[in-house]
Structure 1
Amino acid sequence: MGRHDEVDRSGAPDTARAEAIERYTDQLLERTAGDERDRDAVERALRAWRRERDGSGESESAPVLPLARRFGRSALVRLASAAGVLLAVAVAALFLIGPGAPTADAALAGALERARAATPRMYELLFERGLGFTRAVEADLYVSGEQTFALALEKPAGTAWIGGDRAQVWVVPANPQLPVVLGDRARRTQQLLAENDVELPYVDVVSALEALSVDYDAALSADGLVLSGTKRATAPEHKADTFRLVLDEDGALASLELERRGRIALGDWRFELQARDTEVDGSVFDHASHHRADRRVIER
């Protein structure tokens, strides 16, 4: 084998890095589905990287060279359209930046994994909407893993509690003369919120983070702690237009800001979460801890 035909297989990417490249490229392919030239450019770059990863000497029409050499400046220009070039460069850049390099997708996935853990956490919640954000909901939000939450809202008669888990949602009105209401979570959450003059896009952290991972294009700051993103054209109209997410040193959600600017001012809204460093008693997720034992309970 000649000098120019040698394959440099030193420093092969580790498994995590390889999986990251595969996931990222799949996203690029989805976003270029409408343009065959762009899609072909990304697929060619990915095939070249896979041959290097697997140590294969097979080639479609040329020797398999390290990716940086195979897709050099002149070669990239010939890949396809201008957009296709940029996408192929993105694949190459992800390969070349080295193992362990942070990405927005990885940071968001890490925050989501931590949110799904059963460790209870508390957040201050603010939801504003309407012209000039004149209507607001302020609450303390307690979360514990996926779909388990409790909201404490200050009312003229005292503190109202709304909470739930996978199976049910419950409301403890501030007025002690009113009954506690239990309902099926899948059908009753938004209804019970509305009956208590509460309107929220999300009632738990996991749901909010899952929406960000599906409906937004995100960028990660150089320090790996701040994610910002804009809504994709394919996302539902009612979703926020932009978001800003700050992670703590452990990669968990420290704060979140979502904002939507509607076609009319009444469609505007802003949703904010701010983590609080306080110990959370797990009993907060049981409605019985928020009312007297003899209080009437009804089911819907």
Structure 2
Amino acid sequence: MALTLKQLTYFVALAEARSFGVAAAKVHISQPALSLQIKELELNLGTLLVERLPRDIRLTRAGQTLLERARAVLSDLRDLEHAVRLQQGLTGRLSLGVIPTVAPYLLPQALSRIRARDLTLDIRIREAQTAVLVEALAAGQLDAAVMSLPLERGGLVAEPLFEDRFVLAGSETRLSRFAGGAPRPKEVPQDHLLLLDEGHCLADQALEVCGLNARPGPMDMGASSLATLTGLVAQGFGLTLLPEIALTAETAAAPQLCLRRFAGPEPARTLALVRRETSEAAWVSDLAALLREAGEDLISHARGAGRL
């Protein structure tokens, strides 16, 4: 009997879960049924794939080789399904990833535009940090993701959407030291700078913009969201960098927040729509256009709001 795609799916689930029980629940079959499928897979290939330990499993060398190839095969299969599903453009089901410093600001604007275009589109959103989204893209679990450039992994293609500039945010008292003119990023006191938790690309970008090689000392609180950072700095707990797309929402939530633009050239990030090289590209331009329109509207509103 030849090996099947179902067996490959079960094997990948087992390798990732490292538990027959957890893997069986993930693929919605019983544990004995999963065990039988893995044994049949081993029999078909004529080699042991999994070392069964009392509370764990370990892949053999053959199992490790199969895992790599199985992931590639299943990813190609998902690409094929997506290509057929999206061949008429932005229709069917769309799985979209978005980084946390973009999702709460861009998605409300973008999704309303996408829905207006096609109410039948089934949109699945995953909000996660860049590293998680990149892995999900590579594994075929997402069709595309909105993240900040540059990309650090091969096999992915990025379509730039728009430039998102950074501004300095804090209380009026904290920002009064810059009353004489627009500050330069490297003039921001290191011990006043608050950043997001490690793993957020915006935190790394803020460090780079301010010319820092490591996270600041006593003032660094490692917030998990921009909303948390905004609330802290609005109350005088240091300074932070906010992207323009967040300004409308965050200044509405914290009216006492003060902002200063940096001296030119203003620091910025480039947001892009990222997909796999092997995925069908026919629908990408439609989605990118809607995301770009939503982002540019947010930035235009932020620049015209009179807070800067």
The structure in which a higher percent of residues are strand is 1
Q: TM (normalized to structure 2)? A: 0.22
Q: TM (normalized to structure 1)? A: 0.23
If you compute each CA radius of gyration, which structure gives the higher value, 1 or 2?
1
The structure in which a higher percent of residues are helix is 2
Larger RCO: Structure 1 or Structure 2 (Cα < 8 Å, ≥ 6 residues apart)? Answer: 2
